Amino acid sequence: MREDVSEATTKTTAAPAALSRKKSDDFMEWYNEVVEVAELTDKRYPIKGMNIWRPYAWKLMLNIDAFTRKEMERTGHDEVKFPLMIPEALFRKEEEQIKGFGSEVFWVDFAGENKLDERWIIRPTSETAMYSIFPLWIRSHADLPLKTFQVVNVFRYETKQTRAFMRVREIHFFEDHSCFATFEESEAHVKEDLEVASNCLDRLALVHLKSRRPDWDKFPGAFYSVGCDVVMPSGRTLQCATVHEYQQNFSKAYGITYETPKGERDFVHQTTFGMSERLVGATVGVHGDDKGLFLPPEVAPIQVVIVPIIFKGKEGPVLERSRTAVDALRAAGLRVHLDERDRTAGEKYNHWELRGVPLRVEIGPRDVEKKHVAYARRDGQKGFIKDEMLVEGVRDVLSAIQKDLRERHMAFTKTQIHVVRKIEEARKAGAIVVLPLCTKAECGHGVEEALDYKTLGVPLDETSDAKGERCASCGQAAVEWVRFARTY
């Protein structure tokens, strides 16, 4: 059916870079290779864990940021930008934060030849920077809610092995910091933020688990934390979003008060919500295959690549049709690239498959005659679209790809979760396990140690009630189901 392709002019140029590792052989080896070969990042910058965003990855990140901003606007948040540097004294105001971040922060001591009077930390997160100013912005209940966010870089001195997009020292970061008059309102905001996180992950065709983290693993200073974890192909989970209820913990440390309608002063209730470049890492890791990336259409920098199938002396009609197709698709708001390079069709296919373009459109002389275009989805499915239906046809195929990617990840995720009752069963189950537990921290720690797993926490997206079950650790009456997994 597409036999004409193999007859097309072949040029003797170097074959495009291909992957030497198979995803199924060793996920992490494959991941480390694909992020460089597909030109997402350059890890040769001479500081460990501080990588270069190459244009293709940065476009992907900007597409994700643009959607996040849209969601923030929809939910009435204002974007701000606070300074990167935080004076030491401010940072020391909230003790839990120092405990949590003290060993991970970078310090600025000198400006030119001058030692600073007070040294600064480079933000690992922005609570201390923002919460020193919020008291100046919030006076009365009329100033509430204050819903703000920023998109910035944060810096953490990672001592573990670094991995592009997944564990780095300079992190592209989104953080929502919001203040409310009542606990009820801040609780409602936790729900709103989780919905935004869900929408963002959905856009990346990623399924996630929402779990309330155990007390020993909540954000430093938080009342409680919720993590959104994505199950990676290795069965390990990657935390991709977190939402924290601070209650009045920070407002008390930073003196963020408001005048109630009755004229009394009270501390505000606060929440935060963070996401990062890990969204790129999860997308790359979950959807890619042995040929390279597979980017979900909704965020792909290039949604459609058009490859003209050229025969010497017969270029005219094919190139003409290719260009009108590009124009029509662009006019419809689609991100399209026309590959007119002097390479063989096969080289071009490999090039764009490696880069994960979800849909390839091929136009050869026969397609022009037959008034249709041929297409190949990144997952190999092929078909034709009639010329007069080009825009609708392409849109439909892209929607189908987006849906299929998400369903594939949903199906995979389900295979990785095992509801069990005993630690011995959990040992055999592998990947993510859900066990009934009582509420004692020592029982949670006991399971962690026995399995060498981390606690994800209590499911918020499924029933958590374990009434009638026995704690997998101590054998007494269980209260909740708790998720455990190996994590990145």
| DSSP conformational letter for 227 | E
With contacts defined by CB under 8 A, name the span among 44-52, 397-405, 411-419, 437-445 that binds a copy of itself: 44-52
| CA of residue 483 relative to chain centroid, distance | 21
| DSSP conformational letter for 215 | G
335 lies in the site for a copy of itself, by CB under 8 A: no
Query: Which member of 25, 112, 265, 333 binds a copy of itself (CB under 8 A)?
Result: 112
Element (H, E) at 95: helix 95-101
Output 103 or 399, the one with its CB closest to a copy of itself: 103
d(CA 472, CA 40): 44
Output 78 or 449, the one with its CB closest to a copy of itself: 78
d(CA 194, CA 188): 10
Binders in 164-223 for a copy of itself, by CB under 8 A: 170, 172
477 lies in the site for a copy of itself, by CB under 8 A: no
102 lies in the site for a copy of itself, by CB under 8 A: yes
What 3-7 contacts at long range (C-beta under 8 Å, 24+ apart), as own/partner pairs, is: 4/309, 4/364, 4/365, 4/366, 5/309, 5/345, 5/346, 5/362, 5/364, 7/311
Q: Is the Cβ–Cβ distance between 240 and 207 less than 8 Å?
A: no
N-terminal to C-terminal alpha carbon distance within the chain: 45
Least gap, CB of 59 to a copy of itself (angstroms): 7
Q: Is the Cβ–Cβ distance between 418 and 430 less than 8 Å?
A: yes
341 lies in the site for a copy of itself, by CB under 8 A: no
Backbone angles phi, psi at 201, to 5 degrees: -65, -35
430 lies in the site for a copy of itself, by CB under 8 A: no
> Which residues lie below 8 Å from residue 278, measured CB to CB, with a gap of 6+?
165, 166, 238, 239, 240
Burial class from Cβ neighbours inside 10 Å (0-12, 13-18, 19+) for residue 264 reads exposed
421 lies in the site for a copy of itself, by CB under 8 A: no
d(CA 421, CA 472): 6
d(CA 202, CA 207): 7
With contacts defined by CB under 8 A, name the span among 58-66, 321-329, 352-360, 401-409 that binds a copy of itself: 58-66
Output 126 or 247, the one with its CB closest to a copy of itself: 126
Query: Which member of 63, 125, 148, 257 binds a copy of itself (CB under 8 A)?
Result: 148
Least gap, CB of 484 to a copy of itself (angstroms): 29
Question: 């997994």: which residue's tokens?
Answer: 485
Least gap, CB of 447 to a copy of itself (angstroms): 30
With contacts defined by CB under 8 A, name the span among 50-58, 91-99, 292-300, 359-367 that binds a copy of itself: 50-58
Output 49 or 214, the one with its CB closest to a copy of itself: 49
Least gap, CB of 430 to a copy of itself (angstroms): 35
With contacts defined by CB under 8 A, name the span among 74-82, 429-437, 451-459, 471-479 that binds a copy of itself: 74-82
Output 255 or 316, the one with its CB closest to a copy of itself: 255
Least gap, CB of 486 to a copy of itself (angstroms): 26
Binding marks (x or -) toward a copy of itself, 118..137, rule CB under 8 A?
A: --x-x------x--xx--xx
342 lies in the site for a copy of itself, by CB under 8 A: no
52 lies in the site for a copy of itself, by CB under 8 A: yes
> Which residues lie below 8 Å from residue 25, measured CB to CB, with a gap of 6+?
none
Query: Which member of 153, 248, 439, 464 binds a copy of itself (CB under 8 A)?
Result: 153
* Biggest alpha carbon–alpha carbon distance for the chain: 84
Query: Which member of 1, 11, 14, 109 binds a copy of itself (CB under 8 A)?
Result: 109
Q: Is the Cβ–Cβ distance between 301 and 335 less than 8 Å?
A: yes
| Binding site residues, a copy of itself, CB under 8 A | 42, 44-47, 50-55, 58-59, 62, 78-85, 87, 90, 102-114, 120, 122, 129, 132-133, 136-137, 148, 153, 155, 157, 170, 172
